[in-house]
Structure 1
Amino acid sequence: MSGPSLRKRDAHSSIHEAALNEALELRELFQRCLEDNETEKALQVIEVAIEHWESRTLKHAEAEEEGLYKDIVDENPDMISTVIQLTRDHDLMRRIVETLKNRLQSQQPDQRMVTLLDSLVIIDEIHNADEMNKLLNH
């Protein structure tokens, strides 16, 4: 059984919007650190950005998969295709976050990390729209 805020379109949308806005702020801060050659600060920011994606967006994704998505498919088996697509979005985001963590091992923040952060944002924006329009409209 999923939590009540996951089932309410406005509350669910607010969760997505808040997390995405925070992610965008961290991305911009990271970009500025790179431009200003502030390597140590950039490393700190990318660590916070990774933590943010893991603790906010991906924890939320886990809750959706374990509760909301199962409940929706139980109620309406025709939604399985949509749930598979949305779960794939989560998997892509998990893989990109893992790639960021691996790149962080080099201790050399770079523009490729910005590209990965941008990829996360793009996938999340599309995912959130699909979730609102295809899943929570039913």
Structure 2
Amino acid sequence: MSGPSLKKQDAHSLIHEAALNEAKELREIYRKCIEDGDNEKALHVAEIIIEHWESRTLQHAEAEETGLYKEMMKENPALEEIVHQLTRDHDLMRKIVDNMKARLQIKEADLKMISLLDSLIIIDEIHNEDEMNKLLSNSA
């Protein structure tokens, strides 16, 4: 069973918005480190970024998949396709975070990480919009 705020469009939207805004701020801090040539600090910020995505967005995604999405499909089986699309978004984000973790293991702090962060942000923005407009707009 999912928490009550996951089914409430306004509350759910605020959860997404807060995590996404934090992710954008961290991306800018990382970019500044790269521009300044501070590889050590950039690597530290990258660790924080990965922890952020794992603990905020991907943990939230897990709660959606194991609770909210199942409940919504049980209530309305016609939502199956959108739930599959939303779950695919989560899978893409997980793969990108795994890629970032692999780069961090080899101490890669460069512009490629910014591209990965931009990809995460874009996927998350589209995902959040779809979740609000295609899934939660159908709930009571």
After TM superposition, the score normalised by the length of structure 2 is: 0.98
Q: Is it true that 1:112 corresponds to 2:108 in the alignment?
A: no
Q: Within 5 Å, which residues of 2 pair with 1:77-92? A: 77-92=77-92
- Following superposition, the deviation at residue 106 of structure 1 comes to 1.4
Q: State how far apart, in whole Å, the 2-side matches of 1:107 and 1:61 are.
A: 28
User: Shift in Å at residue 105 of structure 1?
Assistant: 1.2
Structure 2 segments unaligned to the other structure (5+ residues): none
Aligned-residue Cα RMSD (Å) equals: 0.4
2:23 matched to which residue of 1? 23
Determine the structure 1 residue equivalent to 2:124.
124
**Deviating 4+ runs (over 2 angstroms):** none
Identity over aligned pairs, percent: 67
**What amino acid sits opposite 1:40 in the alignment?**
E
Local SS of the residue matching 1:2: coil
Q: Which runs of 5+ in 1 are unaligned?
A: none
Output the amino acid matched with 1:60: H
- Tell me the TM-score normalised to structure 1 length: 0.99
> Which residue identity lines up with residue 109 of structure 2 in the other structure?
P
Cα distance, 1:59 vs structure 2: 0.2
What is the deviation of 1:32? Answer: 0.3
Give the C-alpha shift of residue 108 in structure 1.
2.6
Q: How many residues align?
A: 138
Cα deviations by residue, 1:11-39 (Å, 9 ceiling, x for unpaired): 00000000000000000000000000011
Matches within 5 A, 1:1-138: 1-138=1-138
- Code of the residue aligned with 2:114 in structure 1: it is V
Structure 1 counterpart SS, 2:96: helix
